[in-house]
Amino acid sequence: MMRREPAWRLFSAELNSSSMTYKGEEEKSPSYLITPLGAKVNRVLAAGVLTDKENVGSEDEPMWRARVNDPSGSFYVNAGRYQPEASAALADLEPPKLVAVVGKVRTFSPDDGRVFVSIRPESIVEVDEAAREAWVLEACRSTMERMRALRLALAADGGTAEDLVKQGVPRQLASGMTMALDYYGVPDSGRYIRVLQEAFRFLLPDDDVDLGLTEDVSAIAEKEERSEVDVDAEDSIMELIDELDSDGKGAPISNLIDEAQNKGISEVEFEEISNSLMDKGLIYEPVLGKLKRI
């Protein structure tokens, strides 16, 4: 009897930056997506705001595509005839809703060589704020564990997975870590520190969160400048969305850009701010070309 794969808790930013797949040599071996931080992922448990969904199939045979936002970005979910429970649940859920999704990861590569990652859900259920916060905290813990294993792997300078296991790294993570370093090279740890900081700011909005990790991992990857999104500009965009959402179906993005420019916010800055607001779960795109407050 095959052992069921564990469901990893990891942020969408890490999942979506993954492009390496691996399958064992045995006939029924499971396939894995290897993330830049060494997670060897077959299944995931994700949680966040269901911001939009679309039936790209037919009424008789629906195929649902949905997006679930966490503090770092979006998970993309596809469910059809072979996921009847999840498909039925998606049919009944009306965005925006807090949800949890359990499922297997899938990748798609078009001709241009890019890799798109999605979740094929086994189940999707509505959850409360406490459950979402518990997931964010667990995803933080899991991410920090992989960053610790990364430091150990780099300190070993060419050591094997068994060397990492001897230092207390779980065997599956040790295996994934060595494969990740061979495939991706040294990841930009600063990016994942920022993911953690955003997650803790989400959990503790009234606190000034500083993990104090940047100096510790600066030798792992080059630091990347982060352009802080101005809080006043975010408030301005939120106010514009409320003003221009005349029919309750969302504010046209083209109109938002025009009004934002009148307030001194360029189109590039508007794009950055709106992406940040979506990542924080404050707004979503109910239909293409419109933004709406959650």
Instruction: Report pLDDT digits (tens) over 106-156.
Output: 998 877 778 899 999 999 999 999 999 999 999 999 999 999 898 888 887
The one-letter amino acid at 24: G
Task: For residue 210, name the pLDDT band (cuts at 50, 70, 90).
Answer: low
Task: For residue 6, name the pLDDT band (cuts at 50, 70, 90).
Answer: confident
> CATH for 231-293?
1.10.10.10
Which residue intervals of 72-128 are DSSP H helices?
Answer: 84-92
At 228 the pLDDT is 43
The answer to whether the beta carbons of residues 32 and 76 sit under 8 Å apart is: no
The answer to whether the beta carbons of residues 140 and 155 sit under 8 Å apart is: no
At 157 the pLDDT is 74
At 283 the pLDDT is 87
Taking every pair of C-alpha atoms in the chain, what is the biggest distance, in angstroms? 64
Distance CA 266, CA 121 (A): 39
> CATH for 7-127?
2.40.50.140
Task: For residue 221, name the pLDDT band (cuts at 50, 70, 90).
Answer: very low
Task: For residue 163, name the pLDDT band (cuts at 50, 70, 90).
Answer: confident
DSSP state of 82: T
The answer to whether the beta carbons of residues 132 and 101 sit under 8 Å apart is: no
Q: Is the pLDDT of residue 50 over 90?
A: yes
The answer to whether the beta carbons of residues 48 and 11 sit under 8 Å apart is: no
* Section 79-107 average pLDDT: 92
At 238 the pLDDT is 92
- What percent of the chain clears pLDDT 90, i.e. is strictly above it? 46
Instruction: Name the nearest CA neighbour of 38 among 23, 24, 20, 26.
Output: 20
For tokens 């993005």, the residue is 253
The answer to whether the beta carbons of residues 32 and 23 sit under 8 Å apart is: yes
* Residue 200: strand pairing partners: none
The answer to whether the beta carbons of residues 236 and 273 sit under 8 Å apart is: no
Query: How many CB atoms within 10 Å of residue 7?
Result: 16
- Beta strand 43-55 pairing with 64-70: antiparallel
At 108 the pLDDT is 87
At 216 the pLDDT is 42
Please list, in sequence order, all residues whose beta carbon lies within 8 angstroms of the beta carbon of residue 100, skipping any fewer than 6 positions away. Answer: 45, 46, 47, 124, 125, 127, 131, 132, 135
* Section 183-211 average pLDDT: 82
Look over the chain and give the mean of its residue pLDDT values, rounded to a whole number: 85
Least confident piece of the model among 18-22, 154-158, 289-293: 154-158
The answer to whether the beta carbons of residues 231 and 223 sit under 8 Å apart is: no
* Section 37-55 average pLDDT: 94
Task: For residue 224, name the pLDDT band (cuts at 50, 70, 90).
Answer: very low
At 225 the pLDDT is 35
Tokens of 159: 């050591």
Instruction: Name the nearest CA neighbour of 116 among 65, 190, 163, 167.
Output: 65
Distance CA 70, CA 284 (A): 12
At 4 the pLDDT is 67
Radius of gyration in angstroms for the set of CA atoms belonging to the chain, rounded to a whole number: 20
Please list, in sequence order, all residues whose beta carbon lies within 8 angstroms of the beta carbon of residue 95, skipping any fewer than 6 positions away. Answer: 49, 50, 51, 52, 53, 284, 286
Task: For residue 249, name the pLDDT band (cuts at 50, 70, 90).
Answer: confident
At 208 the pLDDT is 61
Please list, in sequence order, all residues whose beta carbon lies within 8 angstroms of the beta carbon of residue 111, skipping any fewer than 6 positions away. Answer: none
Q: Is the pLDDT of residue 83 over 80?
A: yes
Please list, in sequence order, all residues whose beta carbon lies within 8 angstroms of the beta carbon of residue 228, skipping any fewer than 6 positions away. Answer: none
Tell me the pTM: 0.71
At 114 the pLDDT is 81
The total number of residues written for the chain in this structure:
294
User: Which of 46-50, 190-194, 203-207, 280-284 shows the highest mean pLDDT?
Assistant: 46-50
